[in-house]
Amino acid sequence: MVLETCKVLMQFNEEFRKNTVKQVTDFLSGPEHRTADIVPSIPVFIAQLFTLCQLPDYNQYFPEADVLTRDRLFTLFRFAFEEQMRRSIKDGVEPFTKAQVLKILFPDAMSLADALFKVREKQILMNSR
């Protein structure tokens, strides 16, 4: 019911929808648009984006150059994750390592890397003959 209510708000409240689209577009354009004074809550921002993406033909609300392709969405989620992690760093606490971040973002990252290395190894062996 909450999602349905949010979808109605997003669909029929033009100002709210325009602000959400602008925030998404700006968020992708540079780190200066991802700070806590501009995007107070990353989870709320992602919820707004999710709601927007539930609307039929949601890309109609974006300027042509800023439509949300799969790659742009992937980039946006990566930036959102990075920003949320940055905000959660506390004094005296070790930040996540690259391996930990990869494990969170891509649980199968190591098995994928292993498979790619095996394929590359075979290619090298084939080329050396």
Residues 21-43: tens digit of each pLDDT = 999 999 999 999 999 999 999 99
- pLDDT value at position 43? 92
- pLDDT value at position 124? 86
Distance in angstroms (rounded) separating the CA atoms of residues 53 and 11: 11
Angle formed by the axes of helices 42-53 and 14-29, nearest 10°: 120
Residues of the chain with pLDDT under 50: none
Query: Closest Cα partner for 75 from 38, 44, 30?
Result: 30
- pLDDT value at position 8? 92
- pLDDT value at position 113? 78
Q: Which two structure tokens, joined as six digits, stand for 103?
A: 């494990």
- pLDDT value at position 121? 87
- pLDDT value at position 40? 93
Distance in angstroms (rounded) separating the CA atoms of residues 41 and 12: 23
| Mean pLDDT computed over every residue of the chain | 87
- pLDDT value at position 16? 94
- pLDDT value at position 123? 85
